[in-house]
Amino acid sequence: MYLAVLHALCMLIVGSSAYKTVRTYYFNGKVYKEVNEQPWFRVVHRTHTPIPAPMVNESGFGQHDLPEDDIYVEHDWTEEEKKYLPCLDLLCVCPYYGGERILSCHVRTRQVAGKVSGSKCVLPNGKLLQKAIRKEARQLSDSERFQIAIAFNKMKSAGLYDRIGFVHKYSGLHEGPGFFTWHREYLKRFELVFRRFLPPGSRLGLPYWDSTMESELPDPRESLFFSSLFVGAANATGQIIDGPFSDWNIMEELEPLTHKDAISNKYTDNMYEYSKRSTCSEAKWDCGSKYLFCHRVDGNPQCVAKLRIGAICQGFEDTPICYEGRCVDGRCVRKDLDVGPDPKDFM
């Protein structure tokens, strides 16, 4: 669930040079040019063909179907969650982590010594509570990936993952103008709970999936992302069969905040930030992750996801597209190398 939501929401909009696409039309003997600028994308996006108007209601976009016999059950936040999860700054949420709010300008603890500008939240182990950093899944180190898998499995075992995931269940949250604002606040609350299951002082936030890195693959479903290293592979019926979440059983509640509150800068000013998107260039032909490789797309270097063993790699024979393998006769075959530990060995 969390990766699906993150895929929908966790796109960081930053200033960059505008990408432009130009279409030329000839009509009644005249030439017309249509210029489409994309100043918010770091990677040029091809022009999309809009869905025909008569088919809009048939599209599955934004829909969140439930079984016909589903019965609505109102979600209840605990009193502690009602008190701290709506917080939009770290001092407010500090007691949720057992921390101490230090209001003076001089702080001396076992691990934090000297001057600290402004008020801080000092955790029981002496480390400061800082805003989370949300990384794309392939940017995580192996250690970070294992920590996240362990945290989610602990949340699942404690019933917290299902209880908080239950809030996300109902379709009214997905087919209206409040989609972005509701999910922004929901993910922030989910992340606050998630951070309780990480080592105190960790800055790890919820990971997200940048699916544009799969867009150039022969078959995006064969991306390494859908393997035991990340979210797991699925069988023909869609069940996850390996990876750290394979044994799981699957199954408007954000008061007092409103949609107006959810467009506040306090989220990214105080609570979390995003790591920079993986990029490469002519001068730096490296994406900084062993799960990505640099590939020229429409003449521009771009980071692309690697494929798992057995995947179709036709057309990429001379590239490092296969994780711990190589592309032979259009298929990824394994090298005689260690692919690393299974995350389940750490639980």
pLDDT band at 347 (very low <50, low <70, confident <90, very high): low
**CA 284 to CA 286: how far, in whole Å?**
6
Sequence-distant contacts of 162-168: CB under 8 A, at least 24 apart: 162/251, 163/75, 164/189, 164/190, 164/193, 165/1, 165/251, 166/73, 166/75, 166/251, 167/75, 167/253, 167/254, 168/1, 168/5
Mean pLDDT score across all residues of the chain = 80
Strands 325-328 and 272-274: unpaired
pLDDT at 268 over 90: no
**194: enclosing H helix or E strand:** helix 179-195
Average pLDDT of the segment spanning 5-22: 44
Higher pLDDT, 243 or 67: 243
Task: Find all residues with CB under 8 Å of 333, minimum gap 6, and list them.
Answer: 309, 322, 325, 326, 327
Question: Which residue bears the tokens 């990480």?
Answer: 198
User: Which pLDDT score, from 0 to 100, does residue 32 have?
Assistant: 80
CB neighbours (10 Å) of residue 246?
15
The domain ranges of the chain are 2-21+130-346, 22-52, 88-129
Higher pLDDT, 287 or 267: 287
**CA 259 to CA 176: how far, in whole Å?**
12
Residue type, 66: L
User: Which pLDDT score, from 0 to 100, does residue 257 have?
Assistant: 66
User: Which pLDDT score, from 0 to 100, does residue 27 have?
Assistant: 72
3-class SS of residue 311: coil
pLDDT in tens, 191-210: 999 999 999 999 999 999 99
Question: Which residue bears the tokens 């709010």?
Answer: 101
Average pLDDT of the segment spanning 41-68: 64
Instruction: Report whether 196 contacts 158 (CB < 8 A).
Output: no
The string of DSSP codes covering 66-123 is: --TT---------HHHHHHTT--SHHHHGGGGT-EEE-SSEEE-SS-EEE-SS-EEE-
**Closest CA relative to residue 198, chosen from 241, 140, 240:** 140
pLDDT in tens, 104-158: 554 444 434 333 335 899 999 999 999 999 999 999 999 999 999 999 999 999 9
**CA 40 to CA 74: how far, in whole Å?**
38
**3: enclosing H helix or E strand:** helix 2-9
Q: Encode burial over 11-49: b for 16+ CB neighbours within 10 A, e otherwise.
A: ebeeeeeebeeeeeeeeeeeeeeeeeeeeeebbeeeeee
pLDDT band at 56 (very low <50, low <70, confident <90, very high): low
